[in-house]
Amino acid sequence: MDDICTSTDTIEQAKALTKDIDMILPDGEFKVKGWTSNIQLKGPEVNKTEKTMMESLAKKKVLGVFWNREKDKFSYRVKVDKFMDKRLTKRIILSWLARIFDPIRYTAPFVIRAKIGLLQLWENGYD
């Protein structure tokens, strides 16, 4: 499953965009499984099962990023608990950094600082 994540300035633009995408994708034999938005784009004729499915997906990930639909905010979750039991090594730090999936690069300022710190460890010859 692939996600399209985009933004529009108005509700009318969002409705036009979803209509255009719904018309174009079948030409390539792609099927839209559903839409989710922080506002209602379709009328009351939306299938309740589809709406429930899309609401549960919205609480999960969109392009690897957690999206809170009600607040329209993105967030990231990084688990570091399993690394706290072990002696930190450059390999463990690199493994932790590699697990951060951020295709829209919101975490780039933090990840870059961590990578610079890791580079300094290598330059200074730390194990």
pLDDT in tens, 92-104: 888 888 888 777 7
Report the number of distinct structural domains present in the chain.
Answer: 2
* Residue with tokens 């174009």, as numbered in its chain: 24
SS3 62: strand
Same domain for 68 and 107?
A: no
Range 99-122 average pLDDT: 87
Same domain for 86 and 66?
A: no
pLDDT digits (tens, 9 = 90+) for 29-42: 888 777 777 766 66
Length of the chain: 127
Confidence check: pLDDT of 64 > 80:
no
Confidence check: pLDDT of 117 > 90:
yes
Q: Kindly state whether residue 4 falls inside one of the protein's structural domains.
A: no
* CA 72 – CA 92 distance, rounded (Å): 33
Q: Which residue would you say has higher pLDDT here, 94 or 55?
A: 94
Q: Which residue would you say has higher pLDDT here, 54 or 89?
A: 89
- What mean pLDDT, rounded, does the chain reach? 76
Most distant CA pair in the chain: distance in Å?
64
Structural domain boundaries enclosing 91? 81-123
Q: Kindly state whether residue 67 falls inside one of the protein's structural domains.
A: yes
**Rounded to two decimals, what is the model's pTM?**
0.50
Same domain for 68 and 94?
A: no
